[in-house]
C-alpha cells in the first residue's frame, strides 16, 4: 500500500478503477486498492508500476503544495507520468 495524502485517496481510487475497467475488469465498491492492484498486475505488471509512479508523483506534488513551495517542473512530471500510464493501458488493449 502506498502512503498518500488523504485528499488524494478518492482520486487514486478513481484512477485504479478506471484502469481496471479499461483492462476489462469490473471493479466493485468493496474491492480494496490492493485487490484492484492485483488485478492490474495480473494483466500487466508494468501498468501497475506506472500507476504507482503516478500516485507517488501526485503525493509529492501535494506535499510541495502544502509546504507552499515554489513549483518548477513538478506539474509537468505529473502530466508525463499520467501520459505514460495512458499509453501503456492503450497499448495493452491493442494486444
Number of domains comprising the chain: 1
Residue 51: inside a domain:
yes
Half-sphere exposure of 90 (CA within 13 A, CB side): 6
The residue range of the domain holding 49 is: 34-94
Cα 8 to its chain centre, rounded Å, is 10
Per residue in 55-77, pLDDT (tens digit) is 888 888 888 888 887 877 778 88
What pTM did the predictor assign?
0.84
Residue 87: inside a domain:
yes
pLDDT at residue number 67: 85
Residue 45: inside a domain:
yes
Q: Which of 51, 4, 13 is nearest to 32 (CA)?
A: 13
pLDDT at residue number 2: 59
- Dist. CA 9–CA 3, nearest whole Å: 10
Residue 71: inside a domain:
yes
- Dist. CA 71–CA 87, nearest whole Å: 26
pLDDT at residue number 95: 65
Cα 91 to its chain centre, rounded Å, is 17
pLDDT at residue number 60: 85
pLDDT, averaged per 10 consecutive residues of the chain (95 residues), comes to: 78 95 95 96 93 89 83 82 89 77
Amino acid at each position: 500500500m502506498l502512503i498518500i495524502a488523504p485528499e488524494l485517496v478518492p482520486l487514486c481510487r478513481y484512477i485504479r478503477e478506471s484502469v481496471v475497467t479499461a483492462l476489462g475488469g469490473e471493479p466493485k465498491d468493496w474491492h480494496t486498492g490492493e485487490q484492484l492492484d492485483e488485478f492490474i498486475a495480473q494483466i500487466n505488471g508494468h501498468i501497475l508500476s506506472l500507476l504507482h509512479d503516478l500516485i507517488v508523483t501526485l503525493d509529492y506534488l501535494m506535499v510541495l503544495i502544502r509546504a507552499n513551495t515554489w513549483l518548477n517542473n513538478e506539474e509537468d512530471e505529473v502530466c508525463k507520468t499520467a501520459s505514460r500510464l495512458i499509453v501503456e493501458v492503450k497499448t495493452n488493449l491493442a494486444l
